[in-house]
Structure 1
Amino acid sequence: MRHVSVLGQIFGWILALCLPGHAAAQPSCGGPEMPCETVSGSYHIVLPEGPGPHPVMMFLHGAGGRGASLVRPSGTSKQAVARGYAYIAPNGLIRPGRNRPGWSFHPDFPGQRDEAAFLQEVMTDAATRFNIDRNHSILAGFSIGGSLASYVACTTPAAFTAYAPISGSFWRPHPTGCAGPVRLLHTHGWRDQVVPLEGRFIRQIAGRDFAQGDVFHAMTLWRRANSCDNFRANRFKTDGDLWRRIWVACAPGTALELALFDGGHGVPSGWGKMVLDWFEGLKGSIN
């Protein structure tokens, strides 16, 4: 895993200043210590060894999370980088009066920024600074990060090659439909009480219900977007603690799965490997 360190940055500046005819190097960015700044926000990135271009896994943190914690050399980031991926973790914004970051994910409530546009801004910035392959990209996210990933998949399905929300989906009222077909693998805990599979009421905001949606209804929307022939899944697979339901009688070039695990609100063991294997298995359907 290649982090861009502060010491490495300082060395680069010194080297550039010492070489005649060379302008001072631009400040670098990347790992947990130094986010890359864009017009609308910031992100962290870790890169594999080699020249690239590197496929991309972008992961959206949950409520109160931060991108810096996601790019430390462990867990999913370590797995992704070991398999040749650039791993990008954008940062949510802190709302006025609060002290923890979040995402403006709900389409019916005012947000601080257009998050879908911000994620594309991040991809454009990363393509400029680093040798990434934005045509082979997967957008994942946990909890409300998973909700944001779901809404991006619904409204702008071509923004990323594939989507992998975890423990987060649509909120009520559910979308009436999505813009087009997707490649999507949704993962959820059977015992999740923070974001139950059926959703739950949170509170009222300005006289309107703020309530989580139903994952099973979301799967209906995805089946409709992918022109699947049946309500029921066509294939079933068990990967350790992950129980997968797979729809294959759908439009060419699409992919749709629901993976359940016997756990609560979290990212299950084996999720990173499952998702990367799934994504790499889609290569025949990706232009």
Structure 2
Amino acid sequence: MLMTMVNRLPLFLAFLSCALVFSVGSAPADRFCNSGDTRIACSLPSGDYHVRTPDGPGPFPAVVILHSAGETGADIVNDPFYVAMVLGRGFAIVAPTGRPQPYSDGRTATGWHVRKTSTGGRDDAAFITSVIEVAAQRFQLDRKRTLLTGYGNGATLVWELACLSPSTASAYAPMNGGFYEALPGRCRAPVRMFVLHSRRDGFWPLDADDVRVQANRATPVPTRAHLELIQRINGCGTPAAGAGEAPENTTLIGWRGCHSGSDLVFLEQQGTAVLTADIFATVLDWFEPPAPPSRVAPPGVGSVFRRPGEGPTPFGKRPPAQ
């Protein structure tokens, strides 16, 4: 028997070695991060991100926010505005961090590598996809309820992912940003898209007449052309006002007849580019409509309560008096 065990030892060691390799290879790719401690970044081989999740069990809907130039993921998850608006709804916040890169105005700041404007560096589209996949597994996020949003430089990457890698998220909401120089000839699949544009943004044009060509700077493509791009891939009909209750000083337009599962909504802000609570709430309501308030009283509180299947009629019977 001893000889049999000795003979089987190499086989056992080989099995153990394979098991260890499998265990290491299948472990989460990020380390040393905690959704309850926003000071600690989650690390991937290609970069860092921060996460905050609401209390209670998952899976949670997630809002992935791409910061604008000069910010970090830590700035996002520690911003009281986002904490109140996102966590307050029971959604998780995922905030990747861009890498330092030069800008056309001569400064170097954190930002995102995007088409037509950056050379070399990290593939940020692949990085964001990895962040969402890994964070979903580690923090119990619902991949089927994931909103990708961003402002300015972050919005540009949102557009790139929505058009060229549409399965990255289930919905997209770019704010005052988009493609530079030229649009892709065609996006790959219909998407749910909520586009925000501030008339007084001062940089990103709404219409072709607003475009300003400047030396040594990439030229932004007007927001209106982006809307037409999504209208085509989504198969939408004509736009019409009344897509919902518009916040103050805004116009809200929706497109009719889009392909099943897709959507296109445009919110134009008349004032300066400020993301107000009302505007962001409109985006979140569109992404994940809040449950309607219950009109049924709890047992013993009112006569309208019915337990399913009770009583001789479909309405059931009244609860016993208390």
**TM score, norm. by length of structure 1:** 0.81
Whole-angstrom CA distance in 1 between matches of 2:184 and 2:90: 35
The match for 1:245 among 253, 256, 259 is: 253
User: Unaligned regions of 5+ residues in structure 1, if any?
Assistant: 1-25
CA contact (8 A) 1:189 1:261 kept: yes
Matched residue type, 1:265: A
The match for 2:141 among 119, 132, 140 is: 132
**TM score, norm. by length of structure 2:** 0.73
**Number of the residue aligned with 1:71:** 77
The match for 2:33 among 25, 28, 31 is: 28
**Number of the residue aligned with 2:307:** none
SS in 2 for 1:105: coil
Higher RCO by CA contacts (8 Å cutoff, separation 6 or greater): 1
Matched residue type, 1:233: A
**Number of the residue aligned with 2:220:** 212
Map 1:40-79 → 2, pairs under 5 A: 40-72=46-78, 74-79=80-85
Cα distance, 1:113–1:68 mapped onto 2, change above 3 Å: same
Cα distance, 1:73–1:211 mapped onto 2, change above 3 Å: closer
Higher CA-based Rg: 2
Cα distance, 1:241–1:107 mapped onto 2, change above 3 Å: same
**Residue 173 of structure 2 corresponds to residue 154 of structure 1:** no
Whole-angstrom CA distance in 2 between matches of 1:100 and 1:108: 14
Map 1:75-154 → 2, pairs under 5 A: 75-95=81-101, 99-107=108-116, 109-154=118-163
| C-alpha distance after superposition, 1:245-281 (max 9, x if no partner) | 1002211111101101122234234222111100114
CA contact (8 A) 1:233 1:247 kept: yes
Matched residue type, 1:176: G
**Number of the residue aligned with 1:254:** 262
Whole-angstrom CA distance in 2 between matches of 1:268 and 1:170: 24
Larger mean CA deviation between 234-243 and 182-191 belongs to 234-243
User: Unaligned regions of 5+ residues in structure 2, if any?
Assistant: 1-30, 292-322
Size of the aligned set, in residue pairs, is: 253
Map 1:261-276 → 2, pairs under 5 A: 261-276=269-284
Deviation at 1:177, TM superposition (A): 1.4
Larger mean CA deviation between 31-40 and 153-162 belongs to 31-40
Whole-angstrom CA distance in 2 between matches of 1:74 and 1:244: 26
SS in 1 for 2:218: strand
Cα distance, 1:266–1:144 mapped onto 2, change above 3 Å: farther
Cα distance, 1:203–1:89 mapped onto 2, change above 3 Å: farther
CA contact (8 A) 1:236 1:243 kept: no
Deviation at 1:73, TM superposition (A): 5.0
Q: Among all aligned residue pairs of Structure 1 and Structure 2, give the percentage whose two residues are the same amino acid.
A: 32
Higher strand share: 1
Deviation at 1:152, TM superposition (A): 0.6
- The alignment's C-alpha RMSD in Å is 2.2
Whole-angstrom CA distance in 1 between matches of 2:38 and 2:108: 19
Cα distance, 1:262–1:222 mapped onto 2, change above 3 Å: same
Deviation at 1:134, TM superposition (A): 1.5
Deviation at 1:157, TM superposition (A): 1.1
Whole-angstrom CA distance in 1 between matches of 2:38 and 2:129: 21
CA contact (8 A) 1:244 1:260 kept: yes
SS in 2 for 1:211: coil
Whole-angstrom CA distance in 1 between matches of 2:48 and 2:224: 33
Cα distance, 1:177–1:240 mapped onto 2, change above 3 Å: same
CA contact (8 A) 2:62 2:145 kept: yes
